[in-house]
Amino acid sequence: MIEWERLDKQEQIKLRDAFGHYLDTLPPTCSLDMKIARFQEWLSQKGIRYHDRIKADSSRP
């Protein structure tokens, strides 16, 4: 799998845009955890690994 951080900014933007269109097909959610999980699952189907930096940063002492 390719790490998200290794993609250039243009590729990340294209993927985020495509993911936004995909999200439009799913039931809405306000849960940030659910949104991140959906993003990770969607990217994994494309061979890309995304680590949730928000959770990683918040778990630091």
pLDDT digits (tens, 9 = 90+) for 2-60: 999 999 999 999 999 999 999 999 999 999 999 999 999 999 999 999 998 765 555 55
Count CA within 13 A, CB hemisphere, residue 13. 3
pLDDT at 52: 83
CA 37 – CA 16 distance, rounded (Å): 14
Residue ranges covered by each domain of the chain: 2-58
Stated pTM of the model: 0.81
